[in-house]
């Protein structure tokens, strides 16, 4: 099967990640009444209507994540993948938790939210609070637990080998599990099948398979099926984000249009339409996305609540957004990069140490026969240009 070979960084994905993050920021700052004290329909008569659908940025994230993580696992071991994920996610996450706790608790500004105690903060540092009913320090962290479950699913695939065939099997099995989970009502199946969000992850995987190999009828069928399944939970997501009354009153067609547009954009990138986009600022934009997402909600809402009577609303929203972007850059530059590098080096040494202790020593005769083997007799797997491209991109496009 022919493979799509491209040495270009997919900078367009970085831009889409920032777009998804700003959609969520726009939703929280403009659509929600909490930081303003009353409904924002009178404050932002026009922008409020669009902002009510900004929560779909999360679904957009999951679609991008399916594409990116499928690319990242190719040619890696489970240990390498774990190191990549942990060193990418934890430094900025720890910084976000501590900064949020300082702003809304230590500074005595619990105007919008406040952690229930330092025990909650400490548990949140594990990123596993979603599995033991511990409240999130910031409500946006719920998406991280969804991502962690997706990583576990991909790790299982890696145990069997990340191949075209196994990825297709994953898409089929996961689709069936997500479709049947509401009927089966088995907590474990529902928890990992994630029927509300599975269509986005699965479609992202299929799009990457198009990118790595080539489009075909099977992959397009998977994508179209996921697009149809993604429509199933729009009403539910509207109700959970805006309340049942507002969810029932709002039309669903804008949400459907946004989902279709998101699929179309990732599909275009899969087919190579974004290969020529190499603007350097997009790399920075992609780097800011994750820390921006982590810190914008409770901190940003606290500032809005505190200054809403002193600064005009549009100026306040723009100023807080700019402040959050600047803070995200500082976290990326002075925490995420250096701590991530140190953590990556430390974890790799730990994994190497485990391998050394787990590998039984070879017998003298085996070492002797191996030493007698000439280099030309040593079997090696051929390395393709696609392997080189995937290795070069590994870890480049990290998702939230």
pLDDT band at 109 (very low <50, low <70, confident <90, very high): low
Residue 362 has a pLDDT of 63
Rounded to an integer, the average pLDDT of 69-74 is 96
Instruction: Give the rounded percent of residues in the chain with a pLDDT score beyond 70.
Output: 85
300-310 pLDDT, tens digit per residue, is 999 999 899 99
Burial class (CB in 10 A: 0-12, 13-18, 19+), 183: exposed
Ramachandran angles phi, psi of 380, nearest 5°: -135, 145
Residue 396 has a pLDDT of 37
Work out the widest C-alpha separation in the chain, in whole angstroms. 83
Q: CA-to-CA distance for 274 and 10, rounded, in angstroms? A: 7
More reliable by pLDDT, 111 or 104: 104
160-216 pLDDT, tens digit per residue, is 999 999 999 999 999 999 999 999 989 999 999 999 999 999 999 999 999 999 999
pLDDT band at 392 (very low <50, low <70, confident <90, very high): very low
Residue 1 has a pLDDT of 42
Statement: residue 387 has pLDDT above 60: no
Q: What is the mean pLDDT of the chain?
A: 87
Length of the chain: 400
Residues 6+ apart with CB under 8 A from 385: 5
Q: Single out the residue of 126, 92, 122, 218 nearest to residue 167, CA to CA.
A: 218
Compute the CA torsion angle 228, 62, 277, 89 (nearest 10 deg): -170
Q: What's the N-to-C CA distance of the chain in angstroms?
A: 32
Q: CA-to-CA distance for 181 and 62, rounded, in angstroms? A: 19
Statement: residue 352 has pLDDT above 90: no
Statement: residue 146 has pLDDT above 50: yes
Residue 106 has a pLDDT of 59
More reliable by pLDDT, 5 or 112: 112
Domains in the chain: boundaries: 55-74+162-277
Q: CA-to-CA distance for 148 and 154, rounded, in angstroms? A: 10
280-294 burial, b at 16+ Cβ within 10 Å, e below that, comes to eebeebbbbbbbbbb
315-329 pLDDT, tens digit per residue, is 999 999 999 999 999
Residue 114 has a pLDDT of 67
Q: In Å, how far are 263, 272, 290, 293 from 67, measured between CA atoms? A: 11, 14, 17, 19
Q: CA-to-CA distance for 288 and 42, rounded, in angstroms? A: 31
pLDDT band at 380 (very low <50, low <70, confident <90, very high): very low
Q: What is the DSSP string of 100-156?
A: HHIIIIITS-TTS---S-HHHHHHHTTT-GGGTTPPPSSGGGHHHHHHHHHHHHHHH
Rounded to an integer, the average pLDDT of 71-86 is 94
Rounded to an integer, the average pLDDT of 127-145 is 93
Residue 110 has a pLDDT of 56
Rounded to an integer, the average pLDDT of 12-21 is 95
Residues 6+ apart with CB under 8 A from 158: 73, 76, 77, 78, 81
Note the Cα 202 to chain centre separation in Å.
13
pLDDT band at 390 (very low <50, low <70, confident <90, very high): very low
Residue 395 has a pLDDT of 39
Rounded to an integer, the average pLDDT of 155-163 is 96
Using only C-alpha atoms, what is the Rg of the chain? Answer: 23
Rounded to an integer, the average pLDDT of 78-93 is 96
Tokens of 56: 């779909």
More reliable by pLDDT, 234 or 367: 234
Residue 364 has a pLDDT of 52
3-state secondary structure of 214: coil
Q: CA-to-CA distance for 93 and 101, rounded, in angstroms? A: 12
Q: Which of 116-120, 293-297, 302-306, 361-365 has the highest mean pLDDT?
A: 293-297
Q: CA-to-CA distance for 400 and 396, rounded, in angstroms? A: 13
The alpha-helical segments, DSSP class H, found in the chain are 11-26, 47-51, 56-73, 78-101, 118-124, 142-160, 164-184, 187-193, 198-212, 217-230, 234-242, 244-249, 253-270, 280-307, 313-331, 337-358, 364-372, 385-393
pLDDT band at 10 (very low <50, low <70, confident <90, very high): confident
- CB-CB contact of 226 with 206 (8 Å): yes
Q: CA-to-CA distance for 230 and 180, rounded, in angstroms? A: 14
3-state secondary structure of 51: helix
Note the Cα 70 to chain centre separation in Å.
12
């Amino acid at each position: 099967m022919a493979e799509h070979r491209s040495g270009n960084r997919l900078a367009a994905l970085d831009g889409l990640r920032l777009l998804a993050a700003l959609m969520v920021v726009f939703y929280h700052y403009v659509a929600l009444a909490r930081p303003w004290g009353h409904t924002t329909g009178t404050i932002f008569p026009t922008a409020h209507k669009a902002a009510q659908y900004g929560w779909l940025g999360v679904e957009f994230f999951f679609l991008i994540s399916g594409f990116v993580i499928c690319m990242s696992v190719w040619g890696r071991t489970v240990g390498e993948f774990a190191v990549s994920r942990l060193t990418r996610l934890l430094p900025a996450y720890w910084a976000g938790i501590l900064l949020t706790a300082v702003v809304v608790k230590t500074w005595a500004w619990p105007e919008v939210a406040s952690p229930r105690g330092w025990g909650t903060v400490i548990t949140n540092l594990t990123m596993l609070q979603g599995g033991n009913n511990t409240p999130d320090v910031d409500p946006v962290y719920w998406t991280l637990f969804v991502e962690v479950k997706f990583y576990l699913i991909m790790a299982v695939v890696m145990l069997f080998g990340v191949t075209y065939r196994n990825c297709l099997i994953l898409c089929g099995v996961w689709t069936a599990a997500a479709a049947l989970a509401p009927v089966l009502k088995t907590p474990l199946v529902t928890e990992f099948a994630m029927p509300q969000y599975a269509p986005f992850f699965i479609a992202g995987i299929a799009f990457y398979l198009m990118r790595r190999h080539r489009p075909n009828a099977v992959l397009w069928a998977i994508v179209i099926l996921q697009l149809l399944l993604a429509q199933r939970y729009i009403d539910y997501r509207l109700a959970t984000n805006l309340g049942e009354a507002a969810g029932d009153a709002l039309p669903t067609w804008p949400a459907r249009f946004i989902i279709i547009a998101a699929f179309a954009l990732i599909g275009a990138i899969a087919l190579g339409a974004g290969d020529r986009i190499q603007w350097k600022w997009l790399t920075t934009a992609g780097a800011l996305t994750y820390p921006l997402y982590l810190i914008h909600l409770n901190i940003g809402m606290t500032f809005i609540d505190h200054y809403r009577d002193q600064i005009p609303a549009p100026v306040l929203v723009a100023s807080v957004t700019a402040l959050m972007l600047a803070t995200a850059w500082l976290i990326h530059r002075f925490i995420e990069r250096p701590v991530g590098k140190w953590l990556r080096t430390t974890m790799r040494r730990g994994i190497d140490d485990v391998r050394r202790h787990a590998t039984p020593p070879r017998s003298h005769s085996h070492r002797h026969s191996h030493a007698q083997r000439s280099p030309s007799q040593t079997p090696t797997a051929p390395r393709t240009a696609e392997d080189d491209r995937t290795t070069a991109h590994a870890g480049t496009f990290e998702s939230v």
